[in-house]
Amino acid sequence: MELWPGDRSMGSTLEIDGFGPLPLVRPGSAAELGEIVRAAASNGSALYPLGGGTKLDLGNPPTRQGNVVDMRALNQVIDFPARDMTVTVQAGMAVASLQEILAHEKLRLPIDVASLRSLTLPARREGAQQSTVGGVLATNESGPRRLGFGTLRDYVIGISVMNDEGREFKAGGRVVKNVAGYDLCKLLVGSLGTLGIITQVTFKLRPLADQHALAAIPCAAESLEELVNRIHGSRTRPVALEALNPSAASVALGQVSLPLPTGHWMVIAGYEGNHTAVEWQVRELAKELGAVTPEVRIGDTAEPLWQALIEFNAWPETKVTFKANLLPSATAAFCAAVDRLAPNTLTKAHAGSGIVVGHLTGDWTRDRTAAFLAVWRELAGKAQGRVIVTRCPWEWKNVINVWGPIGGDAWLMREVKEKFDPHGIFNPGRFYHGI
């Protein structure tokens, strides 16, 4: 175990939302991590788990002094029985490294992780290399392919976590058919490191697709809902269905040589599978759309467009980013309302999943942002949804409630936190309702 000694790009301390500086510690093993946790428990300090640091904007500011625990030294493959289509890795492994290892066996974890690379400037932050397994689990990150393949909760079959006593506990296992006990894996995914520090995880995997394609269809704002519903009702089965407003399309797709009619939304359907199935679905979609001819990218030519769709969620040239989660059937109407209220917002929806990401551009003040956010939350609430702020200046967080109003589930979440972390060691105050 050591204080952070070598990575001068980050230094030996770190501020989180203006709180700090907090000393960085870097355990080299689960045993060393256990020592760190026991020390924190004995002196009443807090621990803030850190992966690649790509999601530090997410959540409330910390509430207590303590240490930032950098997990990147725990980055080994523990077990990879490729024929069983599972892999067990330590939580500090970079997601990009994991995907590269899996690809050698023609396998993948079908979760899209944005790399935080600028879409309009040369690469200045290699976030894809930074995003770690533990980090994406803690935030439950997903992207365009969640429509066809689900989220991380669908692929975690085993997990190991360091508890508040410095002891590692396990849930699930290394085989797909685990049926005993509570499904703690799903509980821990998306908990923002507030219930313990993830040390190891076992994923079930999928084969790499033989072929993939994207079909892009421009449409007027008033036709968005109809077009999305037509694709939903078609004989094809897209694994992704994205909708971008004109501003977002210009930023995200302007560098992939895609025709962008002025003032039009862009709806993009993604297909994956064997060559025959993908090519049939592309032809079938074009036939069902009739007079509307999609711009199709297939095989290697589709890759830049896929990547642009994935990267958009982490577009760095913005001060404020929000994410709405609502009924899929209400997605088009919500997007249209956001566009009317704030036309310069870069809006992209996972139109088949009910997820909408918006980046606010221009001269947004704290109070103006708070006012618009209240309206968007009201709109989302009518569609049984919520809106959270995933990025904003930390100075605004004393006014802007980044997680949204307290719901009826707050008591349950507090009960769970109390059972797992009664002394509030892990990431205190950063999650929903100050958990």
Structural domains in the chain, CATH included, are 2-72 (3.30.43.10), 77-206 (3.30.465.10), 211-310 (3.30.70.2190), 320-398 (3.30.70.100)
Relative to beta strand 66-70, strand 19-26 is parallel
pLDDT at 127: 42
pLDDT at 125: 39
Mean pLDDT of the chain: 90
- State the pLDDT confidence band at 313, using cuts at 50, 70 and 90: confident
- What's the Cα-to-Cα distance from 250 to each of 122, 224, 255, 303, 422, rounded to whole Å? 17, 17, 9, 18, 48
Q: What percent of the chain has pLDDT over 70?
A: 92
Q: What percent of the chain has pLDDT over 90?
A: 77
pLDDT at 114: 85
pLDDT at 54: 87
Whether pLDDT at 229 is above 70: yes
Whether pLDDT at 328 is above 90: yes
- Convert the pLDDT of each residue in 340-350 to its tens digit: 888 889 999 99
* pTM of the predicted protein model: 0.90
Q: In what order do the strands lie in the sheet with 240-244?
A: 295-298, 211-219, 265-273, 240-244, 346-350, 355-360, 320-325, 386-391
Q: Does residue 203 sit in helix, strand or coil? A: strand
Assess whether the previous peptide bond of 21 is cis (omega < 30° from 0).
Answer: yes
pLDDT at 120: 35
- Convert the pLDDT of each residue in 120-153 to its tens digit: 333 333 444 589 999 999 999 999 999 999 999 9
Contact 305, 256 (CB under 8 A): yes
Whether pLDDT at 180 is above 50: yes
Dig out the tokens for 169 from the structure: 């506990």
Whether pLDDT at 35 is above 90: yes
Relative to beta strand 46-50, strand 66-70 is parallel
Cα 67 to Cα 1: distance, rounded to the nearest angstrom: 13
Residues paired with residue 198 on neighbouring β-strands, in sequence order: 161
pLDDT at 177: 61
DSSP class of residue 80?
-
Whether pLDDT at 6 is above 60: no
Of 367, 366, 16, 377, give the one whose Cα is nearest residue 358. Answer: 377
Whether pLDDT at 176 is above 90: no
R_g (Cα) of the chain, nearest Å = 22
Rounded average pLDDT over 289-307: 91
Whether pLDDT at 79 is above 70: yes
pLDDT at 215: 97
